[in-house]
Structure 1
Amino acid sequence: MDRRTFLRSSASVASVSAFAGCSALGILGSSGPFTVTIDYPGSWGGSVGSPDGQRSVQGSGTEQFEIEGDIVSAVAQKRDAGTGRLTVSIAAGDNVVKRQSTTAQYGTVSVSHRRGSGDDVSGDGGANQQQEQTQNQEQEREQDRQALESLEVEQVQTYVSESEGGIFVTFQVRNPTSDGIGAGAVVELSVSGQDYTYQEQKFLPIEAGTSEELSAFFPEIVQDGPDIGSVDGMSPQGSENAVTCESISEHGYECEAPDYTAHVTFVPEYEVRG
């Protein structure tokens, strides 16, 4: 990728030479730390670091983290179903060198940068690059939306398996699209007791050409780490007694079992990828 430098003033040749000579202090040769910024109005979690080590981070709103080294990476995921924009950026000094974002529910953003690679997105060249990336993403998303409309779904069911020690949510699905265009399923399980509430989500990709039974398996019921219960005695037991889920929207199903509730929402694949 070509790197372009735009001089906003009518600098002389000497000034240009001085600028080039100072590159050791600029974005390409800087030895200072990178700054990772995670911004989302709601709650988020993830990790930041370098090949020498990663650390878990969590928060809400905007947080910044300084990372030493020549390679930096960051991953962040929404912890709610909000459609606000989650943005993760990497800066070298005052220059933003990488920036990615998502508005998908429970969306994930992953960015990385190697010092000297020249992926500056804070200048005009970066703006053009961002615009091209956005156009490509929109084309992919439109294909994903078309794949979603083509999905054929039936037999959305759920049941408890004591032998497996968990809860299954299954469905028959056919995706007739081709060329790798896919959709996805978000499966959410909720279990409420007298003094606890357990909730978990699974994300299932539905690849092009798929025509099979897919399932999401929830092997544990936990709250803040420790077990709060098991599936022993929960119903319905066994696939032969499965509860059939009802369609509650164009692409959504709800499963009301005696001891828990499951929701299945089919979405464009980009929402599963984040």
Structure 2
Amino acid sequence: MDVQDDRRIDLEHAGAGRVEDDSRSSLADLSRLATTTLSLPDMLSHVAEYAVRAIPGADGAGLTLLHPERAATIVASAAFVRDVDDIQYALGQGPCITAASEGRTVRSGELETDAQWPDFGRRVAVLNVHSALSLPLITDSGVLGAMNVYARRPDAFDDQAAELGQFFAIPAAISVQNARALASAKRLTEHLEKALGSSSSIEQAVGILISRSGCTPDEAYAQLRTLSQNDHVKMDVVARRVVTEASRSARARRRRR
């Protein structure tokens, strides 16, 4: 073995070492995400960013979440990723859709001629995107969506890249599930707070009407409902209006004293 061969082997080892370091670092960063309280978009952005670092050959990555009506790319690490996924959804075919719907890893090294998605492959080849690795995000509750990794060069993702991607997709799915649950909890809290605020306004308005006219609580509530129907606004809007007017009148009386 000559010096040139030794140098080539050293470079290959160095490159492999960098890949392992990047993958290890990305997995460590991803594991820390699971304990954070980031918003869903921020969480997904980090997952996409770490996926590009972790998977050899990747030029960009995106996260797609499944919804009852359709799939949607929530985040993308590069603009071309969103363009690629938009083509998939418009055509109803592509590696991401296959991975998410069938719950399996999908890999292609030459999208332009891939018989699985002929229309999609021809369209993305124009964007100079030739390789794809799509990995389902699977939890105990089912498939949440897919992590989509793309490369511009053909045959960019070998067996090692696919294996690393599958390994990475496990904690990624957990992080996404946690962020999704947190987002749902925040929405529920906001709705409850709004509902409690509305209830408080209505109770105050009922009390004001009772004090004004000596009517019963049921009669006061009926008055609010009638005003709501006549003005075509929600009852809590009418209630807040009654409370505001009563407060304004009370302040005016104090000033006249």
Tell me, yes or no, whether TM beats 0.5. Answer: no
More helix by share: 2
Q: TM-score, normalised by structure 2?
A: 0.26
Q: TM-score, normalised by structure 1?
A: 0.25
Structure 1 or 2, whichever has the larger Rg, is 2
More strand by share: 1
